[in-house]
Amino acid sequence: MDQGKLATRRPRHATEEEVRYLLQIQGVLSNTTDENEKHILINNINEELRGSEVSLASNKKTSYVIQSILQNGNRDKLRLFLSYSKDFAVHMFTQTYASHCMQTALELANTFLSDRLDEPSSALAQRLDGEPLEPLLDLVNLFVENVLPRIVEVCCDVNGSHVLRSLLCVLLGCPNASAAVKKHIVKGALMKKSNAAMVEAFDEARSAVLFALAELGASEREWLMKNQHGCFIVQMLMNNLPAEQRTKLAHILLDVEDPDAAQKLVKELIVDVNGSRSLEGLVRSAADDVVNSFFISWE
């Protein structure tokens, strides 16, 4: 499959004036230590930018400044950034500079949602352009919805894979550290540190991910499992999904409804450097009789 540049809906380019303003304000933000003053400054920055954060996040010179603003902002500021970004989801996941901002935003979303799922009564109700500002939980679901049509391409993209793992941490209710690439699944690590409330809240979103993967053609599923970036998405899902969804996904990816195709796939995965990583998780999660059927036939 073609791993070239993804065709996505993209935000406009940041203007020279916007870039200049943000680079100037970064120095002030870095030197401001008083939390109240920093809060006022970030409010002023958001008032000035009015949604152009998405364009600036995609800019080589200003991406790191947007990251800094997100890290120093509160839950409402994060919601604003995600709301402005949601229509450019695939771009935000896969573009080199925007992906860093998106990963930071999703890690912050995980932290805020771990604390509470709903919005406080004092939460900001609308964006600066007058549009309603969605709750953080709804915004995460919107990103899932907007990324799923391109799920394999995002999984197998060098930037998209990193950001998607951060999104999956939210959907799985697991710490941000779970997004780190591991060469092998740690025995006994399944679901040890999950946030039960988040697991329940995002059950439908996870089901949507499984459905999207089930709808893929056999060649796309195979590419996902053998790809150097996609295999870590498979591994993460196998390591952290609730047991029932984990088994269901393993059976989907192994194509167990077609025993001959499944046998052929397992033999190919087991000798592939990336495919073997995917297979390790699949074997741990598939039903015992399914796994046994693969190896008994080789005797």
The structure tokens 């197998």 sit at: 156
What's the rounded Cα separation, in Å, for the pair 213 and 252? 8
Q: Please state which architecture CATH assigns to domain 16-116+131-296.
A: Alpha Horseshoe (1.25)
Q: Where are the domains of the chain?
A: 16-116+131-296
Q: Tell me if residue 126 falls in helix, strand or coil.
A: strand
Q: Taking the chain, what is the end-to-end CA distance rounded to the nearest angstrom?
A: 34
pLDDT in tens, 63-111: 999 999 999 999 999 999 999 999 999 999 999 999 999 999 999 999 9
Alpha helices of 148-242 — where are they, by DSSP H? 151-155, 158-172, 196-201, 203-214, 218-226, 230-240
Confidence of residue 129 (pLDDT cuts 50, 70, 90): confident
1 pLDDT higher than 50: no
Quote the DSSP letter at residue 149: G
pLDDT in tens, 224-256: 999 999 999 999 999 889 989 999 999 999 888
What's the rounded Cα separation, in Å, for the pair 212 and 148? 7
The angle subtended at Cα 204 by Cα 199 and Cα 205, nearest 5°, is 80
Decide: 39 and 76 in contact? Cβ < 8 Å.
no
What's the rounded Cα separation, in Å, for the pair 286 and 248? 8
pLDDT at 185: 52
* 85 token code pair: 């970004």
What's the rounded Cα separation, in Å, for the pair 194 and 103? 19
124 dihedral zone (left: phi>0; alpha: psi -120 to 50; beta): beta
What's the rounded Cα separation, in Å, for the pair 296 and 26? 63
What's the rounded Cα separation, in Å, for the pair 209 and 148? 7
pLDDT at 126: 92
The angle subtended at Cα 202 by Cα 196 and Cα 203, nearest 5°, is 90
| Other beta carbons within 10 Å of 186 | 9
- Among 36-40, 64-68, 114-118, 279-283, the range scoring the smallest mean pLDDT is 36-40
Decide: 169 and 175 in contact? Cβ < 8 Å.
yes
pLDDT in tens, 12-31: 788 899 999 899 888 888 88
Q: Name the pTM for this structure.
A: 0.90
Alpha helices of the chain — where are they, by DSSP H? 16-31, 35-49, 53-57, 63-72, 75-85, 89-94, 96-115, 136-147, 151-155, 158-172, 196-201, 203-214, 218-226, 230-240, 243-254, 259-270, 275-285, 288-296
Average pLDDT, the chain: 89
Q: Tell me if residue 132 falls in helix, strand or coil.
A: strand
pLDDT at 295: 66
Q: Is 72 exposed, middle or buried (0-12, 13-18, 19+ CB in 10 A)?
A: middle
| Other beta carbons within 10 Å of 41 | 17
What number is the average pLDDT over the span 195-213?
96
pLDDT at 183: 54
* DSSP states along 160-173: HHHHHHHHHHHHHT
